[in-house]
């Protein structure tokens, strides 16, 4: 019968070790206290940190006053559904720090949206602008032929 009790003692020892470790590792303010203690992914001590956290993305409305040409071109294109910061990065400190946002010319940036996803439910291949990167100008950056603010076939 010891073959039954020995694994049970091991399991109980592991559970006890986890509970003791939890006591020392998990902060006391971690959980939902207002409704009585219950587990939740909420750290009461972090509320002030999140209240003071500056959001990194500002949206295209922030960009349009200083960059009206690019704004107007992109709003008249199929890319109007894409926020500026999806390609240029967060504008949290722009225009002061950094003074200029990064212009990413990598082919991989375009392929994030313009290639097929390996999921059966993805309908991306039905979108206009879908391409096979192995057949469509492999090794050439997209911006050498296409202006992302006005993505017309063959035109820049």
Question: For 43-52, what is each residue's pLDDT tens digit?
Answer: 777 778 888 8
95 pLDDT above the threshold of 60: yes
71 pLDDT above the threshold of 90: yes
In whole angstroms, what is the distance from residue 55 CA to residue 126 CA? 34
Mean pLDDT for all residues in the chain: 83
Mean pLDDT of 133-139: 89
Q: For 35-93, list the strands marked E by DSSP.
A: 38-43
Query: Residue 16: what pLDDT?
Result: 97
Question: What are 144's two structure tokens?
Answer: 């050498």
The answer to whether the beta carbons of residues 129 and 153 sit under 8 Å apart is no
Sign of CA dihedral 56, 57, 62, 64: positive
pTM (global) more than 0.75: no
Query: Residue 18: what pLDDT?
Result: 94
Q: Given pLDDT bands bounded at 50, 70 and 90, which one contains residue 11?
A: very high
DSSP 149: T
Q: What are the boundaries of each domain within the chain?
A: 2-51, 60-144
pLDDT greater at residue 82 or residue 33:
82
Q: What is the DSSP string of 62-97?
A: HHHTT-HHHHHHHHTSGGGGS-HHHHH---TTTTTS
The answer to whether the beta carbons of residues 60 and 132 sit under 8 Å apart is no
Residue 93 dihedral angles phi and psi, to the nearest 5°? -110, 5
Within 13 A of 94's CA, how many CA atoms are on the CB side?
20
């Amino acid at each position: 019968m010891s073959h039954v009790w020995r694994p049970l003692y091991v399991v109980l020892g592991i559970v006890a070790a986890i509970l003791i470790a939890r006591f020392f590792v998990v902060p006391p303010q971690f959980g939902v206290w207002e409704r009585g203690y219950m587990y939740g992914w909420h750290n009461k001590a972090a509320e002030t940190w999140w209240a003071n956290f500056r959001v990194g993305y500002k949206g295209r409305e922030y960009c349009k006053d200083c960059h009206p040409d690019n704004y107007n071109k992109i709003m008249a294109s199929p890319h109007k559904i894409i926020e500026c910061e999806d390609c240029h990065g967060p504008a949290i400190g722009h225009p002061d720090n950094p003074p200029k946002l990064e212009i990413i010319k990598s082919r991989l940036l375009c392929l994030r949206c313009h290639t097929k996803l390996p999921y059966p439910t993805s309908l991306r291949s039905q979108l206009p602008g879908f391409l096979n990167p192995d057949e469509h100008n492999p090794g050439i950056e997209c911006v050498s032929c296409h202006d992302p603010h006005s993505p017309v076939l063959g035109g820049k």
